[in-house]
Every structure is written in structure tokens, then in C-alpha cells.
């Protein structure tokens, strides 16, 4: 999806209801999107993905019996690295939890308008670009943080972990291999004990966040009292592309200057000390519409 405008994405529709599929195709073409084809079954979808190599699949989560739609999306991502937007008329949390194994690019809830569909796809593109920029900057963060005594965890705009250093592995009980692509709140489940951040916003609309004391539940179920501080990872033009969190056991304060302040300038990190990051543009645009766009890695 490298720098593609959203309406130039090459899309594949996977929907077993032919009338619904044709309606969706007409909507997408009317909005200027490129539709590479329609698949009415999982097997047909696999053949078309292999043949057409689309940028994105729009897939009815209730494609067939059981979890066929989820399994198809997971297979397509793993084999061809093509993400899916799940389209569903259901709102059960259990279904969303089950669908997350396929790492969907978004969820689009029926019924939706043309504008909501376009906004969702635009948000997917924005998130994809942010993740690519974050990948370019991770080596700089790793070089600074790998051997720090403080635990350092980085996450993307979707709230998924993309990096943690050796100290974070020791403190949380999570290995880097297990933590990456997991939700930050799962790797760092915190019960806030004391929050010294102000409720007032700065001139730029961001809320300052100083150190927070919290109880951390480790992967093995243990409890650790820690001090935590987070800061956004931004590009030189101010676009938020991720979040870095520094934590340390109570009594050994997070050395944010060491963890964040010495990043190479060439990596264009623009992290503001002690500030809660605003939601990225993708999240803000989705919040205005009547659908859930679940952010995840593409």
C-alpha cells in the first residue's frame, strides 16, 4: 500500500451472498476504488488472491459455517501478507475476540454508508503508512534501549507491541517473540495507583502525563509495583506513529532522558516529555462514524 491514496487500493470482495457482493462492488466503484474481483467462497478467494495479489480483502466474517471467514483471513495474511477488513452485521464482543487471531486491518459493521466505507479504507491506509514509518525508526530505539536497566516497550498506533528490551522481558515475564503483535494492555496490564498527570489540556490539545505509579501483573500472575511514563513516537512533521513506555520498579525511577532523549536525530523522533499522545488521525476519523475500525498490524 506504499503511499497509495485510499481510493486507488486494489480490493477483493469475499462475500457468499451474490446480491450483497454486487451492491458492495457498485458502491466501491462509485467511490473510485479498484475492484479486482468477487469471490463467493473461501476456495475461490484463495485462487483470486494468488492470481490478483490485491492490496486488501473485504471479507464477510460470516462467510460460511463456523469460523470459515476468520480462518480464510488468517490463511491469506500468513501466506500472501494480504490483510482483511471484516464486514459483519454482528456486534458480539466474543466474535471480535475470536476474529483477532486473523489480525484484521479493520472491522466494518453493517449497515454502513458509502462515506463510512471510504473513511474506514482511508484509515487502514493511514495506519499502514504509520506502521511502515515506525519500522524504519525501531532500529534507533533498539540501539538506545536494548541494554538499559529500565524496561522499555514500544507499540504501534494500533496499540500492539512491536518491541521490548531485555529489562522489559525480565520485569514482565514476556519474551520479545511472544509479546510482539500482542496488545500493549495484555503485555502491560496496569492498575493505576497514583496518577500525577493534569486533567487540563495544553495549547495543542494534549494532556500532560507525568510519572504514574501502578501495580503491574506479570505474565505468570505476579504483582510488581512500578513507576511508568509514556511518550508518543512522532515523525518530524508531528505525525504520531507509535508509543514508547518506560517502566521501572518503585524506587528506581524511569530514566526517560536515557531511554528517550538520546535517540539519533536522523530517526526523526519527536517525543514530548510527559505528554499523553493524542489519538492518531486514523482513530479520530473513525470515531466520527458508525463503525468500529479495529487497528492492527498490516
CA 47 to chain centre: 28
Is residue 122 included in any domain, yes or no? Answer: no
Last residue of a domain, one of 76, 111, 146: 111
Is residue 288 included in any domain, yes or no? Answer: no
Q: What is the pLDDT of residue 226?
A: 94
- What confidence tens digit (pLDDT) does each residue in 134-181 have? 988 899 889 989 889 999 999 998 898 999 999 999 999 999 999 998
- Kindly state whether residues 141 and 265 are assigned to the same domain: yes
Q: What is the mean pLDDT of residues 206-215?
A: 70
Q: Is the pLDDT of residue 51 over 90?
A: yes
Percent of the chain whose predicted confidence (pLDDT) is above 90? 39
Instruction: Kindly report which listed range (35-44, 110-119, 215-224) carries the lowest average pLDDT score.
Output: 110-119
Domain that residue 266 falls in:
130-278
**205 — alpha (psi -120 to 50), left (phi > 0) or beta?**
left
Please name the residue that has the C-alpha cell 528506581: 252
- Kindly state whether residues 217 and 92 are assigned to the same domain: no
Q: Cα dihedral angle (56, 62, 65, 67), rounded to 10 degrees?
A: 60
Cα distances (Å, whole numbers) of residue 275 to 115, 162, 186, 269: 33, 21, 22, 14
Helices 68-80 and 42-52, interaxial angle, to 10°? 20
Q: What is the pTM of this model?
A: 0.61
- Kindly state whether residues 247 and 149 are assigned to the same domain: yes
Alpha helix segments (H runs only) across the chain: 18-30, 42-52, 68-80, 93-99, 114-145, 166-172, 176-179, 184-187, 256, 281-287
Comparison of pLDDT for 256 and 51, the residue scoring more: 51
Q: Cα dihedral angle (208, 167, 239, 133), rounded to 10 degrees?
A: 180
- Kindly state whether residues 99 and 25 are assigned to the same domain: yes
227 SS3 class:
strand
Percent of the chain whose predicted confidence (pLDDT) is above 70? 75
Q: What is the pLDDT of residue 290?
A: 33
Q: Is the pLDDT of residue 252 over 80?
A: no
Is residue 157 included in any domain, yes or no? Answer: yes
Could you tell me which of 244, 243, 248 has the C-alpha nearest to residue 228?
248
- Kindly state whether residues 106 and 159 are assigned to the same domain: no
Q: What is the pLDDT of residue 128?
A: 79
Comparison of pLDDT for 254 and 50, the residue scoring more: 50
Q: What is the pLDDT of residue 35?
A: 94
Q: What is the pLDDT of residue 280?
A: 36
Query: How many domains does the structure of the chain reveal?
Result: 2
- What confidence tens digit (pLDDT) does each residue in 214-229 have? 999 999 999 999 999 9
Q: Where does the pLDDT of residue 13 fall: very low under 50, low under 70, confident under 90, or very high at 90 and above? A: very high
Comparison of pLDDT for 281 and 71, the residue scoring more: 71
Q: What is the pLDDT of residue 203?
A: 52
As a whole number of angstroms, the distance between CA 140 and CA 264 comes to 7
**The three cell numbers locating residue 295:** 487497528
- Residues in contact with 62: Cβ distance below 8 Å, sequence separation at least 6, in sequence order: 69, 88, 89, 90
Q: Where does the pLDDT of residue 124 fall: very low under 50, low under 70, confident under 90, or very high at 90 and above? A: confident
104 SS3 class:
coil
Q: What is the pLDDT of residue 6?
A: 53
Q: What is the pLDDT of residue 255?
A: 52
- Kindly state whether residues 91 and 146 are assigned to the same domain: no
Q: What is the pLDDT of residue 271?
A: 36
DSSP strand E in 168-292: where? Answer: 190-195, 207-208, 212-217, 223-234, 240-249, 275-276
Is residue 294 included in any domain, yes or no? Answer: no
Q: Is the pLDDT of residue 267 over 50?
A: no
33 SS3 class:
coil
- Kindly state whether residues 69 and 97 are assigned to the same domain: yes
Amino acid at each position: 500500500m506504499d503511499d497509495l491514496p485510499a481510493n486507488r487500493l486494489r480490493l477483493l470482495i469475499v462475500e457468499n451472498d451474490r446480491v450483497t457482493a454486487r451492491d458492495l462492488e457498485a458502491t466501491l466503484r462509485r467511490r473510485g476504488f479498484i475492484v479486482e474481483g468477487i469471490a463467493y467462497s473461501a476456495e475461490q478467494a484463495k485462487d483470486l488472491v494468488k492470481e490478483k495479489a490485491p492490496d486488501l480483502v473485504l471479507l464477510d466474517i460470516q462467510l460460511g459455517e463456523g469460523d470459515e471467514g476468520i480462518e480464510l483471513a488468517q490463511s491469506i495474511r500468513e501466506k500472501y501478507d494480504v490483510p482483511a477488513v471484516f464486514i459483519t452485521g454482528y456486534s458480539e464482543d466474543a466474535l471480535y475476540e475470536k476474529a483477532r487471531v486473523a489480525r484484521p486491518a479493520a472491522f466494518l459493521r453493517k449497515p454502513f454508508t458509502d462515506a463510512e466505507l471510504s473513511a474506514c479504507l482511508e484509515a487502514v491506509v493511514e495506519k499502514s503508512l504509520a506502521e511502515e514509518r515506525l519500522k524504519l525508526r525501531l532500529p534507533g530505539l533498539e540501539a538506545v534501549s536494548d541494554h538499559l536497566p529500565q524496561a522499555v516497550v514500544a507499540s504501534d498506533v494500533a496499540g500492539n507491541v512491536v518491541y521490548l528490551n531485555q529489562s522489559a522481558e525480565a520485569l514482565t515475564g514476556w519474551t520479545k517473540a511472544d509479546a510482539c503483535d500482542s496488545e500493549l494492555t495484555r503485555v502491560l496490564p496496569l492498575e493505576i495507583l497514583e496518577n500525577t498527570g493534569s486533567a487540563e489540556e495544553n495549547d495543542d490539545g494534549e494532556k500532560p502525563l507525568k510519572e504514574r505509579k501502578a501495580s503491574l501483573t506479570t505474565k505468570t500472575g505476579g504483582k510488581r509495583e512500578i513507576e511508568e511514563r509514556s511518550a508518543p513516537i512522532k515523525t518530524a512533521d508531528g505525525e504520531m506513529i507509535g508509543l514508547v513506555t518506560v517502566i521501572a520498579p518503585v524506587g528506581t525511577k524511569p530514566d526517560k532522558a536515557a531511554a528517550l532523549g538520546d535517540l539519533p536525530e536522523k530517526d526523526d523522533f519527536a517525543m514530548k516529555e510527559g505528554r499523553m499522545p493524542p489519538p492518531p488521525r486514523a482513530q479520530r476519523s473513525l470515531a466520527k462514524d458508525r463503525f468500529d475500525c479495529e487497528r492492527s498490524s498490516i
